[in-house]
Amino acid sequence: MARLTGLLLVLIIASSCGKDLKNIRHEKRKFPEGFLFGTATSSYQVEGAWHDDGIVVSASWHEPETENDIVAAEDANQFEWGQYAHPIFSESGDFPAVMKERVAAKSAEQGFLRSRLPEFTPEEIDMIKGSSDFFGLNHYTSSLIVRNESVNGYHISPSYYDDIGVIMYKSNTWEDIGSPWLKVVPEGFYKLLTKIREDYGNPTVFVTENGCMQMTAGLEDDTRVSFYKRYLEAMLDAMDDGSDVQVYTAWSLMDNFEWMQGYNDRFGLYEVNFSIPERTRTARKSAYFYKELIRTKELDMHYEPDMSVPMTIDEGH
């Protein structure tokens, strides 16, 4: 049993999701026996589970703009989520080497007497290593990474972004759902799961958050359904390659308070009517889709629910 119970605050500032499914490779795909789905993720994020201790890492995928940016993109991955994952899940423990090196070098340039990055003691490195029973993963989107001359003086200094030393932006080829930060990039999810498997000895992964927003009310959320289908497909691809993903929880069961975006960004499988005191909840198309996914443990790329049938909780559930 692990010693560390952790919570990384996940700032979910979430928007809207709609595109046809392109290049369907599988009409239907089964999930493994025992695979678990959910939507209520907070207990896992805060406490692990009744028999597991874990931690959640919020990770986006950083994709190199060109072959010249492979190192830069790796640095961005190590800074953004490797700083939490590497001490716990890597064989050597401790912060990622590149993070220690870059922050120390920048600190020296800036006249600091020692690195701004605190150091773990050898005892702390040992204590933290292997201290989570599972890799909790919150994932939504990707960024493109470039390191060219424009990065000099681009970020204020000293700063976290100056330490990374890259420019991050969103590809205009990625599906835009109206959010400045959440572009639909299922292949980024696949690459992230692959990297977690390869870098950390294939830890058990619980996907504790994944989903997308819409900016206005509405029950026919085809964009969200498409998002879920494509991200689940990417996840199944990684599982086919050997990734040990055992749990998937959708963000979110219903529209909720999304931090700085307030109630504008609606992530819910269920719509909440915030204008009336009853806060009425109504199943969206995605709720029907998700229910069918859980019922059949099968991703059906063509499932079209009959939304005139009221949403019910089936017997035995």
List of residues contacting ligand NAG (CB under 6 A): 65, 146, 148-150, 167, 217, 273, 275-276
Q: Measured from the CB of residue 284, what is the shortest distance to ligand NAG in angstroms?
A: 11
* Identity of the residue, 43 or 280, whose beta carbon is nearer to ligand NAG in the bound complex: 280
149 vs 70: CA distance, rounded Å:
16
Q: 120 with 99: CB under 8 angstroms?
A: no
* Identity of the residue, 172 or 308, whose beta carbon is nearer to ligand NAG in the bound complex: 172
* Identity of the residue, 42 or 273, whose beta carbon is nearer to ligand NAG in the bound complex: 273
Q: Measured from the CB of residue 146, what is the shortest distance to ligand NAG in angstroms?
A: 4
The closest of 22, 14, 7, 15 to 230, measured between CA atoms, is: 22
- DSSP three-state, residue 312: coil
* Identity of the residue, 220 or 298, whose beta carbon is nearer to ligand NAG in the bound complex: 220
Q: Measured from the CB of residue 30, what is the shortest distance to ligand NAG in angstroms?
A: 36
Q: In DSSP terms, which residues pair with 28 in a beta bridge?
A: 300
* Identity of the residue, 121 or 308, whose beta carbon is nearer to ligand NAG in the bound complex: 308
* Identity of the residue, 27 or 149, whose beta carbon is nearer to ligand NAG in the bound complex: 149
Q: Measured from the CB of residue 263, what is the shortest distance to ligand NAG in angstroms?
A: 11
DSSP string, 113-143: SS-SSPPPPHHHHHHHTT--SSEEEE---EE
Q: Measured from the CB of residue 219, what is the shortest distance to ligand NAG in angstroms?
A: 8
Q: How many CA atoms lie within 13 A of 151 on its CB side?
A: 15
251 vs 231: CA distance, rounded Å:
13
Q: Measured from the CB of residue 66, what is the shortest distance to ligand NAG in angstroms?
A: 9
Rg (CA), the chain: 20
* Identity of the residue, 148 or 204, whose beta carbon is nearer to ligand NAG in the bound complex: 148
Q: Measured from the CB of residue 7, what is the shortest distance to ligand NAG in angstroms?
A: 32
206 vs 244: CA distance, rounded Å:
9
> Which tokens belong to 54?
């874990």
Cβ neighbourhood burial of 271 (10 Å; 0-12, 13-18, 19+): buried
> What sign does the dihedral 230-297-133-258 (CA atoms) show?
positive
Q: How is the chain split among helix, strand and coil, in percent rounded to 5?
A: 35, 15, 50
* Identity of the residue, 131 or 223, whose beta carbon is nearer to ligand NAG in the bound complex: 223
- For the beta carbon of residue 109, count every other beta carbon within 10 angstroms: 10
Q: Measured from the CB of residue 61, what is the shortest distance to ligand NAG in angstroms?
A: 18
